[in-house]
Chain A
Amino acid sequence: MKEKKVRTADIGDGKIDQIIDKYQGDASALIQVLLEIQRENRWLPKEALEKVSKKLEVPLNQIQHVATFYKAFSLVPRGRHGVQICLGTACHVRGGPRILDRVEEVLGIQAGQTTMDMEFTLDTVNCLGCCALGPVMVVDGKYHGKITPTEAEAVLRKL
């Protein structure tokens, strides 16, 4: 199902050039380049990786290795809204899993998946470093601390 959804790169060639030029074509900046493309585009399309491979002179298989190893990268399109639920230790003992259960139910997807309408992508993270506020949910970069399952649902419904 996900295969069908793969679109051509939203990110323009010009933008990729710009990112690579910023690092002066330095191959050791590969992870940094991919991070910036990921941020611009929310995922890493194959065309973009091929372009990076050519410009940085790094074999495509090495890029694939990096892109699949690190959690920050996605090789499939991601939803318009990114929802992250912290399951770090402090959030875990304070009920993070219950927030996840409720959000999975509300969005109808499991952690790591994207809704069919490409609106939401749900992920779990291992600690965002605001343990004093656990459980924490982050939606599009905004942190919601000391959240309850009911509040989490309300936040998502408002989007």
Chain B
Amino acid sequence: MPKVNSPAELEKLRKGILSKRDPDKPCIAVCTGTGCLALGADRVVVALKEEIKKHGLEDKVDIKETGCPGFCERGTVVVIYPEEICYLRVQPEDAGEIISQTILAKKVVDRLLYVDPTTGEKAVRESEIPFYKNQMRLIIGNNIKLDPKSIDDYLVLGGYSALAKALSQMPPEQVLEEVKKSNLRGRGGGGFPAGRKWEECRNAPGEARYVIVNADEGDPGAFMDRALLEGNPHSVLEGLIIGAYAIGSHEGYIYVRQEYPLAIENVTFAIKQAEEYGFLGENILGSGFDFTVKMHRGAGAFVSGESSALMTAIEGRVGEPRPKYIHTAVKGVRDRPSCLNNVETWANVPLIINKGADWFAGIGTEGSKGTKIFSLVGKVNNTGLVEVPMGITLRDVIYRVGGGIPGSKKFKAVQTGGPSGGCIPEEQLDMPVDFDELARAGSMMGSGGMIVMDEDTCMVDVARYFLDFLSDESCGKCVPCREGIRQMLKILTNISKGKGKEGDIELLEELAEVTRDASLCALGRTSANPVMSTIHYFRDEYEAHIKEKRCPAYVCKALISYYIDPEKCQACMICLRQCPVGAIVGDKNQIHVIDQEKCTKCGTCFEVCPPRFSAVRRISGEPVPPPVPEEARMIARESKEK
């Protein structure tokens, strides 16, 4: 591939690729993101290829292995172009029918379509599915249209045109102004205006400066950065190169956590391709601007996602944060000015350059512009990645896009912002989602995790879970974070074990305040959020645990027992056989009884007891009724007597 030396050559190249592509040629796009791969997408691809070969269609049908379109719940996702027919939950066995029916006979395979659970209506196209229809997919929408290993695919969709525009028509100052005017805020958690950070870095003294993509996506329950890097790595690269141009940097890093092997692979490949095409390297598109990028893999430390910690990690040292009296934009990697932004922030940049700051600022709320990708997970029907305009209500995200709570359970809370965020209750669901509103509710935007919890989730357990995570991940450098989190965790663990005392809640609040005010970095400063927000909104649950030794959600093992109702038990042997510790005694025709001494409270019996019997009960806060005496356990079966 000869290098592209000017914007005009780029357009020529783009036209050349387009002219070789027939828009009417059928193309089967299969999501091969990590999610769908876990569901067997690789086998679907193999099966489809075999079917194509069998029918001798190798030249007539394309197969594209794409990134994640977001609807992970229904994987493997397959979209067939040009009709844009969307098939869900595709298995390798379906390949034959897809080729013979849809490709050859131009018929839709009904059973693979999306069915609306409430109306029973089927949706043929992606755009007709409520999950997609209610989104605004500016950043992630291209994922299903391109093969992340093909730079040509990205070029067909207009890729690198923003870079060409910036380099040829806009001086760096103008690019910076445009980003400032768009009011783009950092998508990694803090929400700091990207333009201001760029400006600070640009104006900082020194010759060399760096730009960095932060893809150390450590928040459990968040995976939008992974999906973007895996599915559309060039969009992030393009944003980074534009940013480097505006800031005056000639060297950049992409920091990806090693838990994302596919993202690392695709980004490394994309960098190589961009170098070959001349979008990276010397004299990019003939503009005289030089820029190179290096890949740096994180080695598994949550705190290393913090900007100053990440920068020390890039230097090959232990990734611990430092006080930031001097911003990293002024003194970062090797004490040189360094501008770090999140994956999604960079991916927004080409859009802003192409469509203008005014267009971008037209989306969203007063303080938060553009869209945000959330990973909607937990107890919700449509789990996956959703991209929505800022300002949409939580209720719309959970019910209109997410399709509500499965199994007619009751919604309890939604947790946003990862371990440093908070839990938001039902009363607040009509709140518009933006950086400031979420902070006001005691939570935060964070990187965009949105974990839905239903009535079976215990809020004390959730707070304990996050504190456990944070105490594990605290680097231990500063005392308030190291000790504060540990003490809060101790109290929460006691409460969940039934050892809570009067005054524990107040002590938690006091510790939370100190940890928040005195910690060195954001990990410690926000660590109190899970505790404070659950106490604020769900104080009654804490009190039930402490005063009544009762877990209202039946989660805290020390406070619950399982009990088989002798009136309802039909001695069907199902729970008895499945109990992993053999704690259930009984026989055919003999009412089953749980040996409370042996029971590990794993809940298997409760789950396997047939709903028509529902004989297994959970008990909390009251004593377990004594077992039925052995002589009274025989069941006389009416049907057999007759």
Contact = CB atoms under 8 A, between A and B. Distances in A.
A136 B38 contact: yes
B504 interface: no
A60 interface: no
Nearest to B473: A126
B261 A92 contact: no
B220 interface: yes
Nearest to A36: B297
A44 B37 CA distance: 30
A156 B293 CA distance: 41
A143 B457 contact: no
Interface stretch (A8-16, A65-73, A75-83, A114-122): A65-73
Contact of B299 (A72, A90, A125, A136): A72
B34 interface: yes
Contacts of A87: 220
A92 to B, nearest CB: 6
A131 interface: yes
Contact of B313 (A31, A129, A141): A31
A19 interface: no
Contact of B300 (A72, A102, A141): A72
B297 A89 contact: no
Nearest to A138: B38
Which of A73, A87, A92, A101 has the most C-beta atoms of chain B within 10 angstroms of its own C-beta? A92
Contacts of B419: 89
B378 A34 contact: no
Contacts of B223: 127, 129-131
Contact of B451 (A70, A90, A130): A90
A73 B375 CA distance: 29
Interface residues of A, number: 44
A101 B580 CA distance: 11
Nearest to A67: B299
Contacts of A149: 580, 604
A45 interface: no
A156 to B, nearest CB: 15
Given A28-B315, A72-B299, A98 B602 contact: yes
Contacts of B457: 93
Interface in A102-159: 102, 105, 125-134, 136, 141, 143-145, 149
Interface in B311-329: 313-320
Interface string B246-261: 0000000000001111
Contacts of A128: 34, 259
B357 interface: no
Nearest to B385: A132
A133 B221 contact: no
A94 interface: yes
A132 B224 CA distance: 12
A31 B377 contact: no
Interface in B294-341: 296-302, 304, 313-320
Nearest to B226: A129
Contacts of A93: 378-379, 451, 453, 457, 462
Which of B38, B383, B418, B419 has the most C-beta atoms of chain A within 10 angstroms of its own C-beta? B38
B449 interface: yes
Contact of A126 (B37, B260, B314, B469): B469
B465 interface: yes
Contacts of B298: 70
Contact of A132 (B73, B226, B302, B318): B73
A90 B316 contact: no
B603 interface: yes
Contacts of B39: 133, 145
Given A128-B34, A131-B383, A105 B580 contact: yes
B422 interface: no
A48 interface: no
A105 B226 CA distance: 32
B217 interface: yes
Which of A62, A101, A129, A144 has the most C-beta atoms of chain B within 10 angstroms of its own C-beta? A129
Contacts of A126: 218, 220, 302, 469, 472-473
Nearest to A144: B38
Interface of A: 27-32, 34-35, 58, 62, 65-66, 69-73, 87-90, 92-94, 98, 101-102, 105, 125-134, 136, 141, 143-145, 149
23 contacts: A30-B316, A35-B297, A69-B318, A71-B300, A72-B299, A72-B300, A88-B220, A89-B465, A90-B377, A93-B451, A94-B379, A98-B602, A101-B600, A102-B580, A127-B220, A128-B259, A129-B260, A131-B377, A132-B384, A133-B39, A133-B72, A141-B261, A143-B34
> Which A-B residue pairs are the 9 nearest by beta carbons?
A132-B72, A88-B220, A143-B38, A71-B300, A129-B223, A70-B299, A127-B220, A30-B316, A132-B383
